[in-house]
Chain A
Amino acid sequence: MEEKDLRQVTFHGEGSKLFGIYIVNLLLTIVTVGMYYPWAKAAILQYVYQETEFEGSRFTFHGTGKEMFIGFIKAIGIFIVIYAFLLICIFSKKPLIMSIGFLVTYAAFILLIPIAIHGSTKYRASRSSWRGIHFGYRGDRKEFLQEFIIGALITISTLGIYYFWFIIKIRKYIFGHLRFGSISFAYNGGGTDYFKLHLKGYFLTLITLGVYSFWYVKDLFRFFVDNIQMEQDGEIVKFRSTATAGGYFKLIIGNLFIVILTLGFGTPWATVRTLNFIFSNILIEGNLDVNAIQQTEMDYRDATGEDISDMIDIGLV
């Protein structure tokens, strides 16, 4: 049998440097009443990418505060319009108009979620590069929106049970349209397995009074990672998780102590620990030719989706 190459992404970030960035960010964000936020976010992403290494080369985040600020303003505009509409409906004091107002607001938020996911994935991917080769997301907004809304409606009408299949479908769609130059991605997980994993995790966590939760997160992480694959010129490259429940225990309890004992000021160190943990527990397995990745993607600079997703707090991936 052919020997397979094992590769890893390594993270070199330091808590003290990240701390410096956090502090400057926080102060400027407070002083500017939040307007600095996009620049703050850009600085952190740039730092984290720059300290992330694969095969001797660092990643780069090309997004700028200015791009994200424009997106930020657009996103605020969208929210103001939605809330203004809702307020007008409420002030009318007529039950019918009020309920229409709530319905429309609700629908608008459901619509915004996929728009935000699509936009931020596309922006984030396009603004990420390694050795000058950019990532890219080729998903179609209309198609994604359709898939998302249908999934959301089925989830609601099955009282949430479909949720697990829904999540997997979304993951499949996003990974299926993700590119890194000439490399394409795919997600192989199945909704049924995902559902079983949650079912098992939930009940065992209850029965063991929470002790099982470390195995639960380990399993979820593994399910996420092990189902990702890359393809380069017909060659399949797989991802594999080596995270253990013990490792998760050390990470979570340690971070909890760091954050609580420092009244939150230790958060950057906790972030560094988390990133270290994640990257050191992912193996990339297969015959990847790291010198033959070809530039294929277009430039994309609209950060509106990125900012909307921040505002409705969608945790991507």
Chain B
Amino acid sequence: MYHFNILYFDGKFSVTHQATLDLKPDHWIIQYVDQDQNEQIVQWEINGIERDLGFNSLYIFRYGDFPKQTIECKDENLLVSLKKLYPEKAFFRKKIDLLINQNGTVIAGLACALAGLLAVAYFYILPWFAETVADKIPISMETQLGETMYENVISQYNKDDSLTRSVNDFVKEIDFKTDYPVEVTVVKEDKMNAFALPGGHIVVFDKIISKMKTKEELAALLAHEVAHVHYRHSLKSIFRSLSGYLLISLIFNDINGITAVLADNSNMLLNLNYSRNLEKDADEKAVVILQANGLNLKGFADLFSLLKLESKDSETLNLLRTHPLTDDRIKYAKDVAFHQKGIRNNEKLEKKWQEIVDQSK
């Protein structure tokens, strides 16, 4: 079983020689008849023989320095004989053989594992990464992005100029403890909603203002939204949910694409789903702001109650729907209000509030 039919190439010419191979303990003997009908014998020392990485049932061996001699053999028994005759010679160590040549189940399993890996990367790692990136973006760029998004969003609404002016006057009386420039826009809309854009823009629907009874409620609402801006919640959430698109833009090295994607999706801001933790952070920051300004925290609880009340007859109450666990938050607000000290009377703010009330009635 140590005799095989093979094809032999001498490395000098492309002619194919029908040859025979004999396996000896320390060398191989190749015999063939050349073009001039001369009998030729070639000897290969075992240590100089290499096997090509094989993907099909053709076994290829090479020998010598460049240009190498080559033999090809289709006989599967060759491998069996090689194993028997040279057990210590690594003709079979190519581990990739195993993976590719046989096991369909292994390949299918690996394919599933890969798909799983990609899914995990897409749904968990990528959003996390996007959020981290959002954290590192310079304020100037954030403001610019916010500006682009603001222009996109606001073009779909009917702006209430005089109310906007009054509310911004109101804003100037409160110290929001943030470096972002707070800029409120009031729009005419028959819904109870308000949302924050990256960089300092806050959009408030006029209906929610008309339902408010005290200046503290408005201050609480604004403080809460400012907190979202301050902690970059909206930017992070947008990056998170658009991380797939952003990745594609990054791959194609298209920075303008990122701006375009964000602009196209500005409407998402309306329905952004902040996580419970982000809401809690924003509530806590809002409490700090209100306290620092000596405003009664009861306004905070009143705001939530107002929202809760309204949610009963309005199914599309975004502000509440996306803010989970309102009861918990009412309780929290009442709690902090109960322990609050240092409430001051702020005549100026009260005056500004009255201006707003007069207009929104």
* Number of residues of chain B lying within 8 A (CB) of chain A: 33
Majority SS of interface residues in chain B?
Answer: mixed
A51 B56 Cβ-Cβ under 8 A: yes
Residues from chain B with Cβ under 8 Å of A130 in the complex? 14
Q: Which residue of A lies closest to B65 (CB)?
A: A299
CB of B60 closer than 8 Å to a CB of A: yes
Inter-chain CA distance A47–B7, complex, in Å, is 20
B99 A265 Cβ-Cβ under 8 A: no
A60 B52 Cβ-Cβ under 8 A: yes
B14 A291 Cβ-Cβ under 8 A: yes
Inter-chain CA distance A88–B352, complex, in Å, is 53
CB of A132 closer than 8 Å to a CB of B: yes
CB of A82 closer than 8 Å to a CB of B: no
Inter-chain CA distance A291–B16, complex, in Å, is 7
**Chain A residues close to B by CB (< 8 Å):** 12, 16-17, 19-21, 23-24, 26-27, 30, 43, 46-47, 50-51, 56-58, 60, 130-134, 181, 265, 290-295, 298-299
Starting from the known contacts A23-B111, A50-B56, A291-B13, 20 additional A-B residue pairs (CB-CB under 8 Å) come to A12-B56, A20-B100, A24-B100, A24-B110, A26-B114, A27-B114, A27-B117, A46-B53, A50-B55, A57-B16, A130-B14, A131-B9, A131-B15, A131-B16, A132-B69, A133-B13, A133-B67, A134-B67, A292-B14, A295-B12
A and B contact pairs by CB, cutoff 8 A, 20 listed: A19-B111, A20-B107, A24-B110, A26-B114, A30-B117, A43-B53, A46-B53, A50-B52, A50-B54, A50-B56, A51-B56, A131-B16, A131-B70, A132-B11, A134-B67, A291-B14, A291-B15, A292-B13, A292-B14, A293-B14
Residues from chain B with Cβ under 8 Å of A295 in the complex? 11-13, 67
Closest Cβ–Cβ distance, residue A33 to chain B (whole Å): 13
Residues from chain B with Cβ under 8 Å of A291 in the complex? 13-16
- Restricting to B1-56, which residues have a CB under 8 Å from any CB of A? 7, 9-16, 52-56
Q: Contact partner of B14 among A46, A50, A133, A298, CB < 8 A?
A: A133
Closest Cβ–Cβ distance, residue B317 to chain A (whole Å): 38
Inter-chain CA distance A265–B111, complex, in Å, is 9
Q: Which residue of B lies closest to A56 (CB)?
A: B16
Closest Cβ–Cβ distance, residue A152 to chain B (whole Å): 21
Residues from chain A with Cβ under 8 Å of B52 in the complex? 46, 50, 60
Closest Cβ–Cβ distance, residue B53 to chain A (whole Å): 6
CB of B351 closer than 8 Å to a CB of A: no
Q: Which residue of A lies closest to B112 (CB)?
A: A23
Inter-chain CA distance A19–B104, complex, in Å, is 11
B60 A60 Cβ-Cβ under 8 A: yes
